[in-house]
């Protein structure tokens, strides 16, 4: 017994004298490496004049682990999506769905003809007819709508198919698909697609531009582009030498019906340009009518005076909000995020405009007793440069939303995740499965925010923001990879 007591005493003494001091030294060493990395980053000549901010807190206690100028108000870019997704999941619920309804009025004759109109009312569903997200052909959805006609008892339409895409119209009943502060070049590209009451194919289409060996340029559009869109394309394309790189973009304006495709194409190459679609309801109508014609369904296409109230014959429900929000955070889908943003306002207030949605989100954030004086919100995706927030605010928010939604970190990708903006980020880091991040980037902006599970098992909230740099993003990204890997070693 005495021998065992002595051995226990010696073991305890060994732990106190050697192991605990070693662990404490390791912790101090890890913190010093992180401080040195931040200092090196801020003194980097390539980042001279740029703005850097960082905050790392213990998710359970809220205690600050590390910080560097966390009160700077900076452009968040796509880490803004964290606010949109979390607050929407909390207030609408993970099982919330967008709904598109098919209705009709009038009466059905003995020969199965509808003497009335068919109404397809969009419910803001950003996944509607998205073959990429739903993994089903658009014709499958068209077939479902057609089946609803048959189930209602008509095969002919002596009226018109009327599309209602007013779901997101504000209190003045004005369509506002994009925020006024979005840049002209952005709204022409796929990532700047506007959000409508009825969306179609994520409101995008693809243009293929080829330059033959004889320097002859050929251009054509892929589905769902149609002849009307083709007639609106305006090009400014220069041919460059075969060993040059292609450089293309697209631009559009809601003050004009044209799409501008511009850039440089090397001889012998083919380039794909993904463009935003200005009138998804019109494009949907074109292809749905084309489908009905192919099935032998006749549509008079003249509005029949309403002789009775409309009645719903079919409802198309989106996937659950949890699935859409997770996709938005993994792929940084702006359309999904802004649809969620405005749908939140549609359910909480009577004003789903951008300004109304911004007020709604700010109010709901304030309910968490967060300091909303530290932020300025204008959209849900982060595409606008008018958005501002601090690293302090983002970390406090991440802590609060995880208390409300304990598995919120599971909505974020880990480094190396397939089909995410982090696919090639820190993909070789051994502790990547302990990291859950949302990235945010635009010209001169590169940010990361999310959760890190430290080596001691404690979950930390992290925000790293870099603004106003002039170097290439690809030169800055490895430096932030190293920074975040050091934070994960704490």
Q: Report d(CA 86, CA 404) in Å as an integer.
A: 9
The answer to whether 118 and 159 are in contact (CB under 8 A) is yes
pLDDT digits (tens, 9 = 90+) for 412-424: 999 999 999 999 9
Q: Report d(CA 161, CA 408) in Å as an integer.
A: 42
Specify the pTM: 0.92
Q: Report d(CA 125, CA 195) in Å as an integer.
A: 9
- DSSP label at 480? H
For residue 141 the two structure tokens come to 């959805």
Residue 395 φ/ψ, nearest 5 degrees: -65, -40
Locus of tokens 């969009």: 122
Q: Report d(CA 128, CA 130) in Å as an integer.
A: 5
Give the pairing of strands 51-58 and 270-276: unpaired
- The secondary structure of the chain in percent helix, strand, coil, rounded to multiples of 5, reads 40, 25, 40
Would you give the end-to-end CA distance of the chain in angstroms?
Answer: 41
Give a three-class secondary structure readout of 398-416. HHHHHHHCCCHHHHCCCCC
Nearest to 193 by CA among 178, 176, 175: 178
Per-domain residue ranges of the chain: 31-94+320-487, 99-317
Sheet holding 217-221, edge to edge: 217-221, 204-211, 270-276
Q: Report d(CA 103, CA 116) in Å as an integer.
A: 10
pLDDT digits (tens, 9 = 90+) for 99-143: 999 999 999 999 999 999 999 999 999 999 999 999 999 999 999
CA 105 to chain centre: 37
3-state secondary structure at position 204: strand
The answer for residues whose C-beta is within 8 angstroms of residue 240's C-beta and 6 or more apart is 264, 265, 266, 267
β-bridge mates for residue 451, sequence order: 436, 461
Superfamily of domain 31-94+320-487: DD-peptidase/beta-lactamase superfamily (3.40.710.10)
CA 407 to chain centre: 19
Burial class (CB within 10 angstroms; exposed 0-12, middle 13-18, buried 19+) of 147: exposed
Give the pairing of strands 204-211 and 217-221: antiparallel
Structural Rg of the chain based on CA atoms:
27
Q: Report d(CA 259, CA 279) in Å as an integer.
A: 12
**Tally of CB atoms within 10 A around 32:** 11
**Residue ranges for the chain with pLDDT beneath 50:** 2-3, 20, 22-25
**Tally of CB atoms within 10 A around 295:** 11
Q: What pLDDT was estimated at residue 81?
A: 98
The answer for residues whose C-beta is within 8 angstroms of residue 456's C-beta and 6 or more apart is 490
Burial class (CB within 10 angstroms; exposed 0-12, middle 13-18, buried 19+) of 42: middle
Locus of tokens 């048959």: 150
3-state secondary structure at position 456: coil
Q: Report d(CA 57, CA 9) in Å as an integer.
A: 37
């Amino acid at each position: 017994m005495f021998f065992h007591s002595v051995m226990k005493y010696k073991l305890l003494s060994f732990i106190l004298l050697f192991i605990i001091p070693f662990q404490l030294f390791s912790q101090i060493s890890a913190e010093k490496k992180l401080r040195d990395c931040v200092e090196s980053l801020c003194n980097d000549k390539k980042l001279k004049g740029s703005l850097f901010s960082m905050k790392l807190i213990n998710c359970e206690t809220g205690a600050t682990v590390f910080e560097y100028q966390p009160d700077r108000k900076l452009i968040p870019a796509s880490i803004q999506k964290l606010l949109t997704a979390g607050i929407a999941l909390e207030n609408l619920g993970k099982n919330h769905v967008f709904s598109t309804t098919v209705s009709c009025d009038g009466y059905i004759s003995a020969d199965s003809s509808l003497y009335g109109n068919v109404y397809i009312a969009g419910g803001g569903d950003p996944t509607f007819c998205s073959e990429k997200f739903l993994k089903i052909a658009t014709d499958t959805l068209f077939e479902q709508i057609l089946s609803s006609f048959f189930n209602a008892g008509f095969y002919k339409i002596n009226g018109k198919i009327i599309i209602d895409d007013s779901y997101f119209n504000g209190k003045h009943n004005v369509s506002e698909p994009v925020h006024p502060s979005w840049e002209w070049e952005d709204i022409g590209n796929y990532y700047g697609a506007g959000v409508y009451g009825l969306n179609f194919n994520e409101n995008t289409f693809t243009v293929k531009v080829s330059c033959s060996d004889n320097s002859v340029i050929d251009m054509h559009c892929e589905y769902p582009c149609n002849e009307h869109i083709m007639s609106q394309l305006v090009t400014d394309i220069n041919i460059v030498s075969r060993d040059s790189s292609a450089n293309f973009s697209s631009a559009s304006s809601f003050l004009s019906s044209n799409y501008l495709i511009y850039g440089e194409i090397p001889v012998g190459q083919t380039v794909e340009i993904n463009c935003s679609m200005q009138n998804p309801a019109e494009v949907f109508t074109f292809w749905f009518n084309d489908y009905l014609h192919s099935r032998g369904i006749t549509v008079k296409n003249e509005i029949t005076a309403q002789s009775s109230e409309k009645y719903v014959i079919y409802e198309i429900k989106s996937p659950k909000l949890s699935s859409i929000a997770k996709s938005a955070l993994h792929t940084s889908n702006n359309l999904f995020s802004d649809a969620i943003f405005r749908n939140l306002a549609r359910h909480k207030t009577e004003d789903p405009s951008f300004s109304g949605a911004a007020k709604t989100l700010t109010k709901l954030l304030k309910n968490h007793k967060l300091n909303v004086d530290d932020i300025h919100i204008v959209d849900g995706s982060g595409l606008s440069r008018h958005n501002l927030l601090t690293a302090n605010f983002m970390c406090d928010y991440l802590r609060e939303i995880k208390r409300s939604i304990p598995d919120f970190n599971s909505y974020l990708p880990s480094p190396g995740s397939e089909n995410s903006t982090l696919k090639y980020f820190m993909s070789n880091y051994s502790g990547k499965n302990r990291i859950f991040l949302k990235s945010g980037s635009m010209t001169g902006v590169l940010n990361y925010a999310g959760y890190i599970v430290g080596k001691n098992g404690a979950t930390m909230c992290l925000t790293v923001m870099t603004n106003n740099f002039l170097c290439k993003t690809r030169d800055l990204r490895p430096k932030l990879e190293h920074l975040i890997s050091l934070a994960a070693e704490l």
